[in-house]
Chains A and B, each alone.
Chain A
Amino acid sequence: MKEITMRIPLKSEIMTTVRLTTGGVCSLAGLDIDRSEDCKVCVTESLLLLLHAGYREATIEFAAEDGLKISIAAAGERAEAELAPEDEISAALLGALAADVCTEKRGGTVCAVSFRFDS
């Protein structure tokens, strides 16, 4: 199994790095281009959910074996935040693109998301 973990600040300028890393890991896991692009969307949507929930840092764990499993969790303190109306769309999009989507909530807001892509 190939495992990679990143801890990142939830800032828009980091998203390019996250998307490029995700693309690299998808390639390592043998996902085709379409699935890699879907996977990038799912990673950024998950990070947006955490950002809207008030978190400022997150960890992303990639585990490549028989496809790719990605677990994204909030890290650090949570600031005051308001849920964005687009969060429902983000959650539905995750469900439409990835398999085995699980979300964990703390105090009514999302604090962790995991999903899987088959190769």
Chain B
Amino acid sequence: MEERELFEKYRETGDPALRNEIAEKYLYIAAVIAKKFVGRGVEYDDLYQVASLALVKGVERFDPSKGIKFSTYITPTITGEIKNHFRDRSRLVHLPRKVAELRTAIRKETERFSAEMGRTPTARDLALRLGVSEEEIVRSAEAGSTVSLDRPAREEDGGSFHELVASEEESEFERFENREELLSALEGLNDSERMLVRLRYGQELSQTETARRMNVSQMYISRLERKVLAKLKDTLKKGMA
């Protein structure tokens, strides 16, 4: 069946089997777009999950009579959902830890490689051995470059890194307060919601692995996670008001 014909039939009948058939036909678009966003601190599995859900929603909403192709319609929809997902949770939780882990791995692998080969490894050598991209190796090295603590860190007043680091240490109390607020917000969750937080944010497992351990589907985990995050945000906002 042609694209237009398929969507017209689905709009007429609302048959879930047909919706699934269409979604499966275009699932490759979700995979292609999810791959474009890898390397920003969220695992591919999670991105693919978000993209697939957006695809299903898009199939339900797409109107073939508007005269645009489904791929043109669905790409910005999936992209938007992925970007919302990034905004919701990714960077603050995952990236610093991943970068730190990669830097440790690079240091160890550099020592091992040098001992074995009698030369310092290139970014490509390390990328091949560690199973990451060359870009990640280079960026990770950039993130770890050393700077003088006395060099000016703030252009406006010439304040040094020494001063900046000291003032950041003073906010330790603030961090403690935030932690207390978060713990109290977690008390408002039920058992399965708390389990999800523990697996996803404590153990940093993927949605797939979390679903396996909780014996539910990935779709369920994705929906539950959105619900939990909204609930926590709401509770924390009320706490700050």
Q: Take A93-B79, A96-B80 as given contacts and tell me if A37 and B135 are in contact as well, using a CB distance cutoff of 8 Å.
A: no
Residues from chain A with Cβ under 8 Å of B138 in the complex: 16, 20
The number of chain A residues with a CB under 8 A from chain B is 18
Among A57-65, A84-92, A109-117, the stretch in contact with B:
A84-92
Specify which of A33, A34, A92 lies most central, judged by the most chain B CB atoms within 10 Å of its CB: A92
Residues from chain B with Cβ under 8 Å of A91 in the complex: 72
Asked whether A19 lies within 8 Å of B135 as measured between CB atoms, the reply is yes
Chain B CB within 8 A of A67 CB: no
Interface residues of B in 42-93 (CB under 8 A from A): 69, 71-72, 75-76, 79-80, 83, 86, 91
Chain B CB within 8 A of A8 CB: no
Asked whether B40 lies within 8 Å of A37 as measured between CB atoms, the reply is yes
Closest to A33 in B: B91
Interface of A is mostly: helix
Among B28-36, B194-202, B230-238, the stretch in contact with A:
B28-36
Asked whether B133 lies within 8 Å of A93 as measured between CB atoms, the reply is no
Interface residues of B (CB under 8 A from A): 29, 32-33, 36-37, 40, 69, 71-72, 75-76, 79-80, 83, 86, 91, 133-135, 138-139
Asked whether A92 lies within 8 Å of B135 as measured between CB atoms, the reply is no
Chain B CB within 8 A of A31 CB: no
Inter-chain residue pair count (beta carbon < 8 A): 42
Q: Output the least CB separation between B201 and chain A (Å).
A: 21
A20-B139, A34-B86, A86-B32 known, 9 other contacts, Cβ within 8 Å: A16-B133, A16-B135, A37-B37, A89-B71, A93-B75, A95-B75, A95-B76, A96-B79, A97-B79
- The complex places the Cα of A100 from the Cα of B37 at a distance, in Å, of 22
Residues from chain B with Cβ under 8 Å of A75 in the complex: none
Bitwise, A30-45 to B at CB < 8 A (1) or not (0) is 0001100100010001
Asked whether B76 lies within 8 Å of A92 as measured between CB atoms, the reply is yes
- The complex places the Cα of A109 from the Cα of B77 at a distance, in Å, of 26
- The complex places the Cα of A115 from the Cα of B168 at a distance, in Å, of 39
Residues from chain A with Cβ under 8 Å of B86 in the complex: 34
Q: Which among A16, A20, A34, A92 is the interface contact of B75 at CB below 8 angstroms?
A: A92
Interface of B is mostly: helix
- The complex places the Cα of A22 from the Cα of B72 at a distance, in Å, of 26
Asked whether A88 lies within 8 Å of B76 as measured between CB atoms, the reply is no
Residues from chain B with Cβ under 8 Å of A41 in the complex: 36-37
Closest to A34 in B: B86
Residues from chain B with Cβ under 8 Å of A37 in the complex: 37, 40
Asked whether A88 lies within 8 Å of B72 as measured between CB atoms, the reply is yes
Closest to B83 in A: A34
Asked whether B33 lies within 8 Å of A93 as measured between CB atoms, the reply is yes
- The complex places the Cα of A69 from the Cα of B71 at a distance, in Å, of 26
Asked whether A89 lies within 8 Å of B32 as measured between CB atoms, the reply is yes
- The complex places the Cα of A97 from the Cα of B86 at a distance, in Å, of 14
Residues from chain A with Cβ under 8 Å of B71 in the complex: 88-89, 92
Instruction: List, sorted by A's number, 5 A–B pairs whose CB atoms are closer than 8 Å.
Output: A19-B135, A88-B69, A91-B72, A93-B75, A96-B75
Pairs of residues from A and B, 4 with the lowest C-beta to C-beta distance, nearest first: A92-B75, A96-B76, A96-B79, A16-B134
Closest to A42 in B: B36
Q: Output the least CB separation between A15 and chain B (Å).
A: 8
Residues from chain B with Cβ under 8 Å of A23 in the complex: 139
Residues from chain A with Cβ under 8 Å of B40 in the complex: 37
